[in-house]
Amino acid sequence: MTFTLPELPYAYDALQPYMSKETLEYHHDKHHQAYVTNGNNLLKGTEFEGKSLEEIVKGSFGKNAPLFNNAGQHFNHIHFWKWMKPNGGGTKLPGALEKKINEDLGGLDKFKADFAAAGAGQFGSGWAWLSVKDGKLEISKTANGENPLVHGATPILGVDVWEHSYYIDYRNRRPDYLKAFVDNLINWEYVEELYSKAV
């Protein structure tokens, strides 16, 4: 397969005031596009040609760093756009997810605080994650393009903490961006969809 840039599932200005049109134009049209273009170039002539994106991410980890970085970021961003929606966040979660967050992570408020702390505590570029591993929910953080897939877990929510995701809107205030993400942007229906598939 070759990588292609998906369209945003909403208008560029749909996440304002929490994420600006300018941020989404740069982040989607420039940064994600670069991972797609570079990933396609790096894929040519490798053993990974014709494999699925997940197989490429898992297979190239630790073996082909340039390909892994771009394929990992392509995977991460495909989901990142869908992990947000206008009027997202809120306090009522769909389906079985709320019960599971209560059981494994001490409730929604504690989840939001711990997830934001993971993002704030990631030194330099990376991501904070909510994943399913061995039937349990866990919060983690990774550097650069790495994600929970390569650690035997299934990511169901992630937040990009590279500066390109918040610097235009929040400058250096990464914690403010993370608070806006958890309170106002998360698309819990998509998280629930991934959770249902993972268990």
Q: Annotated binding residue at 77?
A: yes
- In the complex, least distance from residue 159 CB atom to Fe ion, rounded to whole angstroms: 10
Give strand pairing partners of 154.
Answer: 132
Ordered DSSP codes for 149-179:
GGGT-EEEEEEE-SGGGTHHHHTT-HHHHHH
Looking at the Cβ atoms of 3 and 101, the one nearer to Fe ion is: 3
Which of the residues 49 through 108 are near Fe ion (CB under 5 A)? none
Q: Which stretch binds Fe ion (CB under 5 A): 63-71, 113-121, 160-168, 191-199?
A: 160-168
Q: Which stretch binds Fe ion (CB under 5 A): 12-20, 82-90, 141-149, 163-171?
A: 163-171
- In the complex, least distance from residue 171 CB atom to Fe ion, rounded to whole angstroms: 17
Give strand pairing partners of 138.
Answer: 131
Residue showing the smallest CB distance to Fe ion in the complex:
160
Structure tokens at 24: 């989404």
Q: Annotated binding residue at 160?
A: yes
Q: Are 67 and 56 in contact (CB under 8 A)?
A: yes
Number of residues that bind Fe ion (CB under 5 A): 3
DSSP E strands, the chain: 126-133, 136-143, 154-160
Q: Which stretch binds Fe ion (CB under 5 A): 3-11, 13-21, 104-112, 152-160?
A: 152-160
CA distances from 3 to 39, 54, 101, 106, 159 (A): 7, 12, 33, 38, 21
Looking at the Cβ atoms of 29 and 55, the one nearer to Fe ion is: 29
Structure tokens at 32: 């994600």
Structure tokens at 83: 């992990």
Classify the phi-psi angles of 86: left when phi > 0, otherwise alpha if psi is within -120 to 50, otherwise beta: beta
Site membership for Fe ion, residue 160 (CB under 5 A): yes
Looking at the Cβ atoms of 146 and 160, the one nearer to Fe ion is: 160
Looking at the Cβ atoms of 119 and 192, the one nearer to Fe ion is: 119
Q: What angle do CA 155, 156, 159 make, to 5 degrees?
A: 85
Q: Annotated binding residue at 164?
A: yes
Looking at the Cβ atoms of 162 and 177, the one nearer to Fe ion is: 162
Give binding residues as ranges.
27, 77, 160, 164
Give binding residues for Mn(2+) as ranges.
27, 77, 160, 164
**Binding-site ranges for Fe ion (CB under 5 A):** 160, 162, 165
